Amino acid sequence: MAKSAPINMRVEPEQQALLTKAASLLNMDRTAFILNVACREAENVLLDRRLFQLDPKAYTSFEKALDKPIPDNSKLKALLSEAPPWE
């Protein structure tokens, strides 16, 4: 198991009280609450980078780009025809 790493932050007393109250309502300590909420928000931020929306014109252009044939790449073909080093 990897060592845990510290995360330090300073908060206003009102913020600390708010976090403490919310954590206690969920029967969690403040650290666990903050970590849980921060990780959930971090996942949402990362997921937002994977899902994107396009207007109809941009979508059509995007779809055309995906449908274009892949250009010949002899170096890639040669690499993929080699046996993997672990075999």
Confidence category of residue 84, pLDDT binned at 50, 70, 90: confident
Question: In b/e form, how buried is each residue of 48-77, taking b as 16+ CB within 10 angstroms?
Answer: eeeeeeeeeeeeeeeeeeeeeeeeeeeeee
**Residues 39-54, mean pLDDT to the nearest whole number:** 89
The count of residues in the chain is 87
Domain ranges (residues) in the chain: 13-80
Q: How many CB atoms neighbour CB 33 within 10 A? A: 19
Confidence category of residue 1, pLDDT binned at 50, 70, 90: low
Tens of pLDDT, residue by residue over 4-27, are 899 999 999 999 999 999 999 999
The whole-angstrom separation of Cα 71 and Cα 24 is: 59
- Read off the amino acid at residue 28: M
Q: Rounded to two decimals, what is the model's pTM?
A: 0.56
